[in-house]
A and B are shown apart, each in its own frame.
Chain A
């Protein structure tokens, strides 16, 4: 690093967006708390409205905040060093997301490797099985829980396999889009990025189909169908939320590209969205292996 790079680190002026963001998160948290609480007690309250207001506020904040950042960037206020700050910030954010999924993968592996076999009498737990759940035999997918709830295992063939192919392909097209951007080939960039978004949307479409299949009379695989249903829906559900977020990010990039933003050298936002997309893809691969195939 040279002294030159350091001289122009941009410190933004006061901003009202962060405090708006904090209020928005307060609405979301307090609203969600009330909503869940009231739903549990079968009463109606203001929680849902507060939650929606919170989301609306968060979206407003993002528009305003990112608008500031984009304008500052376009005005040439950012140095190479600032770009590094953004890049490093985004990578550590993605790492924190990895750890969030790790908690749920951990739960899945613990249930498969320890709690279900132990309930079935493995190790020195013969009495657990004999005294508490004599009818129960350990198996995975757990299609019959100790308390007798039955369900069915979701196969990996068909929709999940199709979705894997869709998402893996979208990661490749996202990469091609990035290459096109670096070569300043705008028409190709638009095509590849548009294709990525379409692939992402079709993934989401088929994921909804699969949930409908899971909740059908034939499968009877519900969120509360024991630990197999829990981990299945929580992992794929959180992944689906991240894909949705990724599609939104890519769409914003798509619009910005049509507005003529980004240069071959300066395109942090695009890069961040594309990193996020690759991350979502890798998580799916893990899901496909550990939730569906194994």
Chain B
């Protein structure tokens, strides 16, 4: 093994040939063109946003701890749910994945950096400004957006409060950031693979980001279009979403969900990539069915463009439309099932060990599958008429986004922390983080299924008495889950500051180019690409 490892000396020597040294202090982070620096920025930004969005969720759960209005006004409650959703989708999950992509993609394909490093820096630094604008609306007279993260017209147009313009322009620049980031990922993968690394030899992690980036390029402009229509409907007298002028509020939902459904897969496909990396490592086997994984990911991405209206079964559509979207949606279960079975087959008769990244990955497989099954229930048009806009939906998408996307991000973070920092993380604390999160997240989200089936609507600050017991349990789970995440913060800070020295390849079953460089990875890697056989 050690023969593959470039020594620090060699790495420095390469630095000298082709590269500038890193700057000191704040300028390093403001001016950086280094994919590792930018990856770090993305990851820290997303974690800060995650804690911010989580704090909003804590207030929501406090309000819902018991029936009646306790601590917030209904309008402020709506602002909380709206901004919580926007922050978690655009500020936490997506940037976290882009952070992983920035750190790992060039190292996995043997590239010196991302293909367009300056653009990469721009993509990142737009985000803090975009969220500063969004969050500043909390302090405006009219308050923050209060129409839900889906900003349905006419809530966001005719009945919106005064801050819609800020929401629209914040989303615009977030979109610019995402599109440029995605273009960078696509170009890097198409163009900077090490010689010999054909498409079907790329790690599956790379494949999933490749496909995700295509989805982003295709749908973020549609989001830009629909927020522009919301802007002109609100401020310039157009009537795209107003029947009085010949438009239709339902048209908003069609355009929004044409963006929104692929967006959902933008947040889950990279998660597939992460666990397809960790599970083989800790099973000490090759990933079962690599090519079927590639095809399954691609078909999920393609299907995501023709299922959007399953979000709007109850809002009025011709019968043929309801049937078409129902069947297409259920079809997605096929490639997704392929993936779940492949992960299980990878673990089957492997020599498994249960390090923290593996624990999060196994939890991902099981809990994401629960979220997938509740999705299948929601996909059936006639039953959806009962579930629509209830806590069942809330339970469903939190299972796929929290125990799905977020858990995979944790799996990836623990898996690569030794590579990033050069130190092993504190194993005991990380196990505490895992078990506390696992138990509390189920206490938090599982009872929501029952609440939804019993008819509790989402996005309300008060509820009927019969929902009180379950809501109390959910809130307790919520506080416990929120607090458990602080353990992760402690682990990361401890890991950066010190700890057991990590070898180049801390996981004995790991494969891939990123493990052939020392830990921590030198500032510049693969200035000369390795040859892949």
Q: Which A residues are closer than 8 A to B by beta carbons? A: 1-3, 6-7, 9, 11-19, 21-23, 25-26, 28-30, 32-34, 36-37, 39-41, 65, 81, 84-85, 88-89, 92-93, 95-100, 102-104, 106-107, 110-111, 114-116, 118-119, 123, 132-133, 142, 145-147, 149, 223-224, 226-231, 234
Q: Can you list, as one digit per residue, whether each of B76-110 has a CB less than 8 Å from chain A (1) or not (0)?
A: 00000000000000000000000000000000000
Contact for A111 among B27, B221, B247, CB less than 8 A: B247
Question: Is A15 within 8 A of B245, CB to CB?
Answer: no
Q: Which 4 A-B pairs have the closest CB atoms?
A: A103-B225, A224-B237, A115-B248, A22-B125
* Main SS class of interface, B: helix
Is B116 interfacial (CB 8 A cutoff)? yes
Q: Can you list, as one digit per residue, whether each of B519-533 has a CB less than 8 Å from chain A (1) or not (0)?
A: 000001001110100
Docked pose: A110 CA to B243 CA in angstroms: 13
Please name all residues of chain B whose beta carbon is closer than 8 Å to the beta carbon of A103 when the two chains form the complex: 221-222, 224-226, 229, 255, 258
Question: Is B258 within 8 A of A106, CB to CB?
Answer: yes
Is B303 interfacial (CB 8 A cutoff)? no
Question: Which one of A23, A36, A133, A147 has the highest number of Cβ atoms from chain B below 10 Å of its Cβ?
Answer: A36
Is B194 interfacial (CB 8 A cutoff)? yes
- Min CB distance B216 to A, Å, is 9
Docked pose: A98 CA to B218 CA in angstroms: 9
Docked pose: A12 CA to B116 CA in angstroms: 9
Q: Which B residues are closer than 8 A to A by beta carbons? A: 18-20, 23, 27-28, 30-33, 111-113, 115-119, 121-122, 125-126, 129-130, 132-133, 162-163, 165-166, 168-170, 172-173, 176, 179, 182-184, 186-187, 190-192, 194-195, 217-222, 224-226, 228-229, 231-232, 234-240, 243-248, 250-251, 254-255, 258, 318, 524, 527-529, 531
Question: Which one of B115, B132, B228 has the highest number of Cβ atoms from chain A below 10 Å of its Cβ?
Answer: B115
Docked pose: A51 CA to B414 CA in angstroms: 43
Given contacts A33-B169, A230-B238, 14 further A-B contacts (CB under 8 A): A6-B195, A7-B528, A14-B27, A19-B31, A23-B129, A85-B115, A96-B183, A110-B251, A110-B254, A111-B248, A114-B248, A114-B251, A145-B239, A226-B246
Q: A23-B129, A40-B235, A145-B246 are in contact. Are A33 and B166 (CB under 8 A)?
A: yes
Q: A14-B33, A223-B236, A227-B247 are in contact. Are A30 and B217 (CB under 8 A)?
A: no
Please name all residues of chain A whose beta carbon is closer than 8 Å to the beta carbon of B121 when the two chains form the complex: 15, 18-19
Question: Is B165 within 8 A of A37, CB to CB?
Answer: yes
Question: Is A33 within 8 A of B194, CB to CB?
Answer: no
Name 18 A/B residue pairs within 8 A (Cβ), A-sorted.
A1-B195, A6-B195, A12-B117, A13-B33, A14-B20, A14-B28, A18-B31, A18-B119, A33-B166, A34-B165, A39-B235, A102-B225, A103-B221, A119-B243, A146-B244, A226-B239, A227-B246, A230-B247
Question: Is A227 within 8 A of B173, CB to CB?
Answer: no
Question: Is A102 within 8 A of B222, CB to CB?
Answer: yes
Question: Is A227 within 8 A of B245, CB to CB?
Answer: yes
Question: Is B129 within 8 A of A25, CB to CB?
Answer: yes
Question: Is A223 within 8 A of B179, CB to CB?
Answer: no
Please name all residues of chain A whose beta carbon is closer than 8 Å to the beta carbon of B170 when the two chains form the complex: 29, 33
Contact for B217 among A11, A85, A99, A115, CB less than 8 A: A99
Q: B166 — nearest CB in chain A belongs to which residue?
A: A33
- Min CB distance B485 to A, Å, is 28
Question: Is B221 within 8 A of A97, CB to CB?
Answer: yes
Q: A11-B18, A23-B129, A81-B192 are in contact. Are A32 and B169 (CB under 8 A)?
A: yes
Docked pose: A257 CA to B110 CA in angstroms: 37
Please name all residues of chain A whose beta carbon is closer than 8 Å to the beta carbon of B524 when the two chains form the complex: 11
- Min CB distance B51 to A, Å, is 22
Please name all residues of chain B whose beta carbon is closer than 8 Å to the beta carbon of A96 when the two chains form the complex: 179, 183, 217-218, 220-221
Q: A128 — nearest CB in chain B belongs to which residue?
A: B243
Question: Is A99 within 8 A of B221, CB to CB?
Answer: yes
Question: Is A30 within 8 A of B133, CB to CB?
Answer: yes
Q: A84-B191, A146-B246 are in contact. Are A22 and B126 (CB under 8 A)?
A: yes
Q: A41 — nearest CB in chain B belongs to which residue?
A: B162
Docked pose: A92 CA to B219 CA in angstroms: 12
- Min CB distance B239 to A, Å, is 6
Q: B318 — nearest CB in chain A belongs to which residue?
A: A123
Please name all residues of chain B whose beta carbon is closer than 8 Å to the beta carbon of A81 when the two chains form the complex: 191-192
Please name all residues of chain A whose beta carbon is closer than 8 Å to the beta carbon of B237 when the two chains form the complex: 223-224
Q: A225 — nearest CB in chain B belongs to which residue?
A: B245
Q: A97 — nearest CB in chain B belongs to which residue?
A: B221
- Min CB distance B256 to A, Å, is 10
- Min CB distance A147 to B, Å, is 4
Docked pose: A73 CA to B355 CA in angstroms: 48
Question: Is B235 within 8 A of A36, CB to CB?
Answer: yes
Please name all residues of chain A whose beta carbon is closer than 8 Å to the beta carbon of B165 when the two chains form the complex: 32-34, 36-37, 40
Q: A111-B248, A223-B237 are in contact. Are A9 and B118 (CB under 8 A)?
A: no
Please name all residues of chain A whose beta carbon is closer than 8 Å to the beta carbon of B112 when the two chains form the complex: 9, 11
- Min CB distance B464 to A, Å, is 32
Q: B132 — nearest CB in chain A belongs to which residue?
A: A26
Question: Is A234 within 8 A of B132, CB to CB?
Answer: no
Question: Is B245 within 8 A of A147, CB to CB?
Answer: yes
Please name all residues of chain A whose beta carbon is closer than 8 Å to the beta carbon of B133 when the two chains form the complex: 26, 29-30, 33
Contact for B244 among A37, A99, A107, A145, CB less than 8 A: A145
- Min CB distance A56 to B, Å, is 17
Contact for B243 among A29, A99, A146, A224, CB less than 8 A: A146
Question: Is B126 within 8 A of A100, CB to CB?
Answer: no
Please name all residues of chain A whose beta carbon is closer than 8 Å to the beta carbon of B247 when the two chains form the complex: 111, 115, 227, 230
Docked pose: A29 CA to B113 CA in angstroms: 30
- Min CB distance B244 to A, Å, is 4
Contact for A26 among B129, B168, B238, CB less than 8 A: B129
Please name all residues of chain A whose beta carbon is closer than 8 Å to the beta carbon of B32 when the two chains form the complex: 14
Question: Is A100 within 8 A of B239, CB to CB?
Answer: no
Please name all residues of chain B whose beta carbon is closer than 8 Å to the beta carbon of A12 when the two chains form the complex: 33, 117-118
